[in-house]
Structure formats: C-alpha cells, structure tokens
Amino acid sequence: MNGIDRAAIDACYEQALKSCNEGGLPIGSALTRGDAIIAVGHNRRVQQGNPILHGEMDCLQNAGRQTSYRDCTLYTSLSPCMMCSGTIVQFKIPRVVIGENSNFGGNEQFLRDHGVDVEVADDPRCIELMARFIAENGALWAEDIAD
C-alpha cells in the first residue's frame, strides 16, 4: 500500500468509529482520485433510517456527481455487500481497497470477475472494531446483512 492508500484506510477507520459512536454500524468509506481524498462517508442506515445508506453509498453520495469514476479508488473498512459491489461495477470504479474481510466476506470475487482490482489491507483496527460491534450488537448486524 502506498501513502494515499494508508491515508484513505485511516479515513475509513475514522468514519467507521464515527458511525459506531453515533449508534450505527462501524463501516466507513473513502473515495480518492490520484493522491487526494475527494469524499468520505459512513454507514448511516440506523441514524437516518435509510436501508441503502451503507458506508460506500454515503461516500459516493458525498462525492457528488462525477463525470467518471474510472480514475478513482474506493476504500471501505469492511468488504462490500452485493448492493455496494454492484454500484462499484456500475460506476466502473477500477480499484477497491478493503480494510478487512475476516468479519464479513463480501463480494470480492464478484468484483474481480467484473474487472475490479481488489486489495485487502487486513487492518487490525478495522477487524477489532467490527468484531466488537458484532459481538455486542448481533441483532443489528443481522438486520444490516439481511440475515
């Protein structure tokens, strides 16, 4: 991982922590173009009562309208669900860096099958925060992943 990768994963973690402190799910996201973070977001499904406001979706919404995402990288503290993975493919985002996928194995293969370069950072802060959340909030986690 390069410097912008580390900065963006740090931003994801900070956004995940912010969401957790607000009573939401600890999932954060960042979008970069070149060496700049152009947007961040976090899961606000609980806070806003919006079932599709996952961290990646909030980040993309915060980025506003972009003419293209083909030169962007999307970062997420947790492996993306199918909804977010579909959005990544739809917007033709070429690269995704995942903070961790040990607590939730998302759709890495789906992304790869659609030409997305996927990297997993195995960030210990992201792993610990999500594991603690799942242990303490099992029903809310099950609701979020429609389990």
Q: Give the separation between CA 21 and CA 126, rounded to whole angstroms.
A: 14
Q: Give the separation between CA 22 and CA 20, rounded to whole angstroms.
A: 5
From 62, 44, 61, 40, select the one nearest 53 (Cα to Cα). 44
Q: Is 56 a catalytic residue?
A: yes
Q: What's the Cα-to-Cα distance from 28 to each of 20, 79, 115, rounded to whole Å? A: 10, 11, 23
Q: Please identify which of the residues 14, 22, 56, 108 carries the catalytic annotation.
A: 56
Catalytic residue annotation:
56
